[in-house]
């Protein structure tokens, strides 16, 4: 046996999200990272994840504990819920399911809230037969499931908050979702927020007592990163004497209001004025995609902007590697895992100064998301000066090598939060 972590004897029943195959969503990545970290720190995990009946479930979550003692049980519950599930998105998913008629016998809720309740009912049943010491949930959609599980088992409940409805929708926030977020966090025994900024939102806008919120920033590992990627023909320089690869500026994330794709496209037009050879990649899907495509054409840069749609797996790594800079002009970014992924790949990142990740990463450009000129200034400088690119990449990589950015560190802090929950009632032990 190698350096085996001491077994904590703790088992967590987690209502989380499986990494969806065709979506680069931070929440799923974050929960998978947390599970990995917990397993490595010898906390056992029973993970309950919804899967789209329309898609076949992933054959296996390849989460293997390096040292063996901890173990993972995965339960998949058929449900059209998605981590970023707005009410409209759910309706769309429902319609798609109806068209496809691939219901596989599952009975879904009539609307998102009904589905959340149905899921909660299933959660109670799982909690009754799965032994556990603590329950962990991830964002409002799973809060009801966590509460149902607690009613059954009497074990303490932790509410992980990754983003509030205010972050996702701003002024268009859905009041019912806000209510459920608030009630879930108030009812939980402990709340874990992924940044101080998000904690402030929870305290100031949702009225959650500051004393019950722990801040745990995310980490990252380099698992599955390819050692080398080849430059696809589309990004090769053709002009005589041109660089082997054209400069690439990357936007990776959901193409929604929250992520600021509109700022990205305006900025791209500015950068193109100074660096005509530069190409821009918008990787992701979302309700603003048609608007962004139209805007690129209006700005006369349609030939230089590539829309990849949703990307997953290897392609994500490839994009980070090919990019000279990754830009995150998010209106709201409670954490911003994309920044860590980009930096881990050695690609400099421009992030909003209000992002949660900006609280912990120092070696990056930090801007106001609306300041297109500032971003243009930094991007052009990055494309022009190799010294700047290399210095940023080198220092960021060194910074991320610190244990505080590992997967173990957030897992350790999360386990601390688990222990900080009120002691279980007498009947529960």
Partner 1 sequence: MTDICIYAQVHQPFRLREYRLFDIGTEAAYFDDEANRRLLRRVADKCYLPANRLLTQLIRSSGRRFKVALSLSGTLMDQLAEWAPDVLVSFQELVATGGVELLGETHGHSLAALASAEEFRAQVAEHRRAIQRWFGQRPTVFRNTELIYWDGLAPEIAALGYQAVMVEGADHVMGWRSSNHVYAASGTPGLRLLPRNYRLSDDVGFRFSNRDWDGWPLTAEKYADWLQAAGGDSIHLYVDYETFGEHQWADTGIFAFLAQLPEECFRRGLRFVHPSSLAARPPVAELSFPRPTSWADMERDTTAWLGNQMQDSAQARLYGLRAAVLATGDPALLARWKRLTTSDHLYYMCTKWFADGDVHKYFSPYASPYDAFVAFMNVAQDLEQATLAAAPVRPAAAGQEGEVEAYLGGMACVA
For residue 324, give both structure tokens: 């000279």
CB atoms under 10 Å from CB of 241, counted, come to 5
Nearest to 73 by CA among 45, 40, 49, 38: 45
Rounded Cα distance, 284 and 251, in Å: 8
Rounded Cα distance, 419 and 421, in Å: 5
Q: How far is the CB of 326 from partner 1 (least distance, A)?
A: 15
Non-local CB neighbours of 145 within 8 Å, separated by 6+ positions: 15, 48, 116, 119, 120, 122, 123, 137
- Of 82 and 270, the one with the shorter C-beta distance to partner 1 is 270
Non-local CB neighbours of 175 within 8 Å, separated by 6+ positions: none
- Of 292 and 392, the one with the shorter C-beta distance to partner 1 is 392
- Of 141 and 325, the one with the shorter C-beta distance to partner 1 is 325
Specify the 3-state DSSP secondary structure of 203: helix
Q: How far is the CB of 330 from partner 1 (least distance, A)?
A: 18
* Exposed / middle / buried, residue 242 (Cβ in 10 Å: 0-12, 13-18, 19+): exposed
Rounded Cα distance, 86 and 360, in Å: 29
- Of 142 and 354, the one with the shorter C-beta distance to partner 1 is 354
Q: How far is the CB of 113 from partner 1 (least distance, A)?
A: 43
- Of 35 and 271, the one with the shorter C-beta distance to partner 1 is 271
Q: How far is the CB of 248 from partner 1 (least distance, A)?
A: 19
- Of 31 and 330, the one with the shorter C-beta distance to partner 1 is 330
Q: How far is the CB of 365 from partner 1 (least distance, A)?
A: 6
CB atoms under 10 Å from CB of 281, counted, come to 22
Rounded Cα distance, 78 and 49, in Å: 8
For residue 208, give both structure tokens: 């959650």
Question: What is the longest distance spanned by two Cα atoms in the chain?
Answer: 77
Q: How far is the CB of 388 from partner 1 (least distance, A)?
A: 6
279 phi, psi to nearest 5 deg = -115, 150
Rounded Cα distance, 49 and 52, in Å: 10
- Of 103 and 386, the one with the shorter C-beta distance to partner 1 is 386
Q: How far is the CB of 386 from partner 1 (least distance, A)?
A: 8
Do 382 and 427 touch, CB atoms closer than 8 A?
no
- Of 134 and 382, the one with the shorter C-beta distance to partner 1 is 382
From first CA to last CA, the distance across the chain in angstroms is: 31
Q: How far is the CB of 298 from partner 1 (least distance, A)?
A: 21
Contact residues for partner 1, defined by CB under 8 A: 274, 353, 362-366, 373-374, 376-378, 380-381, 384-388, 390-392, 395, 398-399
Q: How far is the CB of 377 from partner 1 (least distance, A)?
A: 4
Do 144 and 180 touch, CB atoms closer than 8 A?
yes
Strands 279-283 and 72-78: unpaired
- Of 7 and 385, the one with the shorter C-beta distance to partner 1 is 385
């Amino acid at each position: 046996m190698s350096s085996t972590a001491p077994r904590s004897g703790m088992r967590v029943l987690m209502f989380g999200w499986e990494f969806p195959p065709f979506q680069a969503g931070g929440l799923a990545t974050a929960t998978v990272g947390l599970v990995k970290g917990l397993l490595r720190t010898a906390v056992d995990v029973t993970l309950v994840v919804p899967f789209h009946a329309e898609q076949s479930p992933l054959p296996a979550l390849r989460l293997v504990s390096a040292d063996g003692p901890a173990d993972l049980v995965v339960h998949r519950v058929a449900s059209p819920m998605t981590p970023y599930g707005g009410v409209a998105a759910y309706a769309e998913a429902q319609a798609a399911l109806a068209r496809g008629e691939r219901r596989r016998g599952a009975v879904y809720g009539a609307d998102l809230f009904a589905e959340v309740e149905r899921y909660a009912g299933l959660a109670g049943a799982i909690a009754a037969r799965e032994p556990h010491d603590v329950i962990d949930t991830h964002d409002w959609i799973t809060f009801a499931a966590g509460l149902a599980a607690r009613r059954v088992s009497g074990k303490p409940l932790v509410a992980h908050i990754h983003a509030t409805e205010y972050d996702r929708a701003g002024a268009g926030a859905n009041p019912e979702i806000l209510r459920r977020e608030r009630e879930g966090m108030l009812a939980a025994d402990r709340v874990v927020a992924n940044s101080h900024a998000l904690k402030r939102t929870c305290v100031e806008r949702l009225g959650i007592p500051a004393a019950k919120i722990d801040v745990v920033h995310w980490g990252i590992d380099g698992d599955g990163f390819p050692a080398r990627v080849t430059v696809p023909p589309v990004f090769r320089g053709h002009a005589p004497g041109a660089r082997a690869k054209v400069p690439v500026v990357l936007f990776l994330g959901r193409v929604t209001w929250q992520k600021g794709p509109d700022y990205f496209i305006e900025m791209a037009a500015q950068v193109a004025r100074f660096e005509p050879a530069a190409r821009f990649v918008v990787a992701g899907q979302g309700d603003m995609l048609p608007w962004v495509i139209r805007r690129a054409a209006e700005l006369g840069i349609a030939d230089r902007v590539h829309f990849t749609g949703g990307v997953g797996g290897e392609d994500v790594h490839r994009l980070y590697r090919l990019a000279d800079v990754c830009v995150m002009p998010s209106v709201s970014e409670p954490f911003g895992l994309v920044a860590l992924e980009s930096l881990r790949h050695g690609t400099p990142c421009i992030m909003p100064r209000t992002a949660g990740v900006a609280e912990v990463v120092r070696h990056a450009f930090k801007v106001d998301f609306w300041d297109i000129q500032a971003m243009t200034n930094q991007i052009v400088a990055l494309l022009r000066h190799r010294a700047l690119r290399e210095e940023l990449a080198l220092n960021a990589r060194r910074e991320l090598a610190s244990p505080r950015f590992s997967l173990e560190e957030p897992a350790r802090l999360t386990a601390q939060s688990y222990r900080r929950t009120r002691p279980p009632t007498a009947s529960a032990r």
